[in-house]
Amino acid sequence: MKKRIIIILLLSLPLLIWSQSPRELFEISLEANAELKALKFEYQAALEKAPQVSQLPNPEVGIGAFILPVETRLGGQQARLSLSQMFPWFKTLDAREDWALSIAQVNFEKIASQELEIYYQIKKGWYQLYLLTKSQQIIRQNIELLSALKKTAEAKVAAGRASLADVLRVDLKLQALLKEIEILEAQKQKPIASLNQILQRPLATTISLRDSLGFMVIPYQKDTLLTAISNHHPMMRMFRRQQEVSHRAISLNELEGKPSFGLGADYLMVSPRNDAFPDNNGRDIFQLKAVISVPIYRKKYDAKYREEQFKIDAIESRKQEVLSLFLSKIEKAYADSESAFLRKELYEGQIQTTKATIQILLTDYSNQGSNFDELLRLEEELVVYDRKLLEAIVEANLALAEVERYLPY
Contacts (Cβ under 8 Å, ≥6 apart) of 82: 60, 61, 62, 63, 64, 264, 265, 266, 267
Contact 192, 205 (CB under 8 A): yes
Which residues in the chain come in under a pLDDT of 70? 1-19, 369, 409
Edge-first strand order for the sheet with 75-87 is 60-72, 75-87, 260-271, 285-293
Neighbours of 123 (CB within 10 A): 22
Residue 335: predicted pLDDT: 95
List pLDDT tens digits, range 262-311.
999 999 888 887 777 777 777 888 889 999 999 999 999 999 999 999 99
What are the residue ranges of helices labelled H in 13-87?
22-32, 34-47, 49-53
End-to-end C-alpha distance for the chain, whole angstroms:
49
List pLDDT tens digits, range 71-115.
777 777 788 899 999 999 999 999 999 999 999 999 999 999 999
b vs e for 275-298, b when ≥16 Cβ sit within 10 Å of the residue's Cβ? eeeeeeeeebeeeeeeeeeeeeee
Q: How far apart are CA 233 and CA 210, in angstroms?
A: 30
Domains of the chain: 15-47+88-258+295-404 (1.20.1600.10)
Q: Is the pTM value of this prediction over 0.85?
A: no
Q: Amino acid identity of 109? A: E
Q: How far apart are CA 274 and CA 313, in angstroms?
A: 75
Residue 363: predicted pLDDT: 84
- Name which of 238, 205, 186 is nearest 28 in CA terms: 205
Residue 369: predicted pLDDT: 67
